[in-house]
Amino acid sequence: MEICEDTKSLSPTIFEDAKNDREKFWENQAACLHWFSPWDRVLDWNPPYAQWFLSGKLNACYNCVDRHQTTQSRHKAALIWEGERGEKLTLTYEDLYIEVNKFANVLKSLKIQKGDKVAIYLPMICEAIVAMLSCARIGAVHTVVFGGFSHDALKDRIHDSDAKLVITSDGGFRKGKHIFLKESCDRALCECPSVKNVLVIRHTHNTVSMKEGRDHWYHELKEKVSPECPPVLMDAEDELFILYTSGTTGKPKGIVHTTGGYLVGATMTMRWVFDVKSTDVYWCTADIGWITGHSYVVYGPLSNGLTQVIYEGAFDFPEQDRVWQIIEKYKVSIFYTSPTAIRTFMKWGDAWLKKHDLSSLRMLGTVGEAINQEAWNWYYKNVGNNNCPIADTWWQTETGSIMIAPFYGHTPLKPASATQPMPGIEIACVNDVGDFENAGYLAITSPWPSMLRGIHKDPKRYEETYWKKWDGNFYFTGDGAKIDEDGYFWLQGRVDDVINVSGHRLSTSELESALTEYHGIVEAAAIAVNHEIKGQGIVCFVTVRDGHVHDENEETKIKQHIVNKIGALARPEKIIFILELPKTRSGKIMRRLLRDIAEGRILGDTSTLFNHEALEQIKGKYKDENEK
């Protein structure tokens, strides 16, 4: 079936259904997937460990590919890929079925079997999605490493996961330049004894070194295998993937997700949030190296039989209208991107959008961090033409699927609020002792199907990071939030991003939101610096719209704006104008590097930093400000 035939599952009455009987509710949602055999029990909850749909058998790849072969979806486009240089490839669901089967058989020819770990280090090409699905088909556990990561970051993740095979390519493209993935992979593998084989996708046709006996060209092995590979029956609690996310200790955390509950969460939230239709053309701009790419580029859209656009390359290549050009060209109807990208589009200016017809859009989404109100309004007005609802979504690598977002057609929107929890999800603001409040720590108060099952090889860290704060009763998200009179959630950023000025705690998120309301400022990062009187002072780094010129009195005006918005206590010590903030490739601002610069420390780990050149400019600007 293309989509779930149980129309009640898409009705707002499911909120009441979920409240009345959560386990029965999730059982009904799980029935929309294809199961080879049913479960014995919906939930086994032994805090902080959960098991969902116990003894049920299914296969994630089968749900994303095989079950569409008996419907009209078989002949429709599954993936429309466009390369940075304008190359195009379309795979129907039938094509995808054949490609996945062949890829899975290649993996089996390299002795990969159920439970083996496979590292995927690829650009955003169709083979990256095919590789993930092929692992799922044969029961191998994939760990995708973002193609923008360094060889050190790749090495650390291979080590921790004990991967037996790495899938990479001869390279990728970014802003017209070649990205040399195979070379990075070779450097990483000098210290990775667990890896027995490397499978190399030919993409750029760069000349690369191939180690005899270890390295294999995929296109050569593909010619030797059958186009049929039966899916392995997986227990609902069998591992599907490990995905690494940053930790406060500097050591990445391998977040473990299993098959059944994760797929239920990704599939159903895709429908609830985006009101998916068989005619939609969907584009999520996330890379598969992040959880958004897993849940809302691979498993969620494909399990629902959607057509989606995949793009390899930069948003501003060859010009700053590339995104709008793609939306117009493929008549994208659902567009899901990050607040960082939206603020970048704002900075580039409205003229780039006006060159293109964006009337195909009917739905917009945002993901990755809380969006500020100015960016939300710009997105709604300029991209959505005041006519497209915006799904502001809150969730994490650890949650697996969207937790807070508008339910399409049911939840009235409030600019910059993620609104309310999804059906079957129980979330509250909690104080230090575990009491519910209108503001405080954001906590998930009951288990949910797509929740993480642990940290790979580190159960103690899992318990201490996520469950220790309230003795295992609630899941600690690490975010702060407040709830308004309508029960809407307003995310306030990480609780460890707090500045303590004269004993008063100020949220960096609140400061940054106020800064971006000032005319001309597009992005901002607020950090704490040592202050001999206040304990900590505030320094703000800001970027401005293209063409905006700030005069000598601008800093004073901005400081007064902050005072007017928050109070005198929040007056920054310095406002520093920079060209761009240091970010990861997923768009998260690396504030700790700004703190290192401000405190004159040696920079910490920069392996996940995207724009290294920005650091030198920031160092110079900060030094100049201090010498004034």
| Eight-state DSSP code of residue 190 | T
**Residue 52's pLDDT band (boundaries 50, 70, 90)?**
very high
Residue with tokens 């959560």: 22
Question: Structure tokens of 170?
Answer: 């001869």
Judge contact between 48 and 463, C-beta under 8 A: yes
Give 128's contacts (C-beta < 8 A, 6+ positions apart): 120, 122, 144, 288
326: phi then psi, degrees, rounded to nearest 5: -70, -45
pLDDT tens digits for 181-197? 999 999 999 999 999 99
- Is the pLDDT at 250 greater than 60? The verdict is no
Higher-pLDDT residue of 74 and 339 is 74
Mean pLDDT of 244-261: 82
Higher-pLDDT residue of 1 and 219 is 219
pLDDT tens digits for 21-31? 999 999 999 99
Burial class (CB in 10 A: 0-12, 13-18, 19+), 259: buried
What pLDDT shows up at residue 521?
Answer: 93
Question: Structure tokens of 439?
Answer: 């503001």
DSSP annotation string for 317-371: SSSTTHHHHHHHHHT-SEEEE-HHHHHHHHHH-THHHHTS--TT--EEEE-SSPP
Q: Report the share of the chain in percent with pLDDT over 70.
A: 96
Alpha-carbon distance of 589 to 583, in angstroms, equals 4
pLDDT tens digits for 583-598? 876 677 888 889 889 8
- Is the pLDDT at 417 greater than 60? The verdict is yes
Q: What pTM, to 2 d.p., does this model score?
A: 0.86
DSSP annotation string for 456-493: TT-HHHHHHHHTTTTTTSSEEEEEEEEE-TTS-EEEEE
DSSP annotation string for 197-252: EEEEE-SS-------TTTEEEHHHHHTTS-S--PPPPEETTSEEEEEEE--TTSSP
Span of 41-55, 92-106, 392-406, 574-588 with lowest mean pLDDT: 574-588
Alpha-carbon distance of 418 to 414, in angstroms, equals 8
Higher-pLDDT residue of 57 and 510 is 57
What pLDDT shows up at residue 628?
Answer: 66
Span of 154-158, 468-472, 608-612 with lowest mean pLDDT: 608-612
| Eight-state DSSP code of residue 313 | S
**Residue 611's pLDDT band (boundaries 50, 70, 90)?**
confident
- The rounded mean pLDDT for the chain is 92
What pLDDT shows up at residue 505?
Answer: 64
| Eight-state DSSP code of residue 394 | B
Alpha-carbon distance of 177 to 184, in angstroms, equals 15
Peptide bond into 318 cis (omega under 30): yes
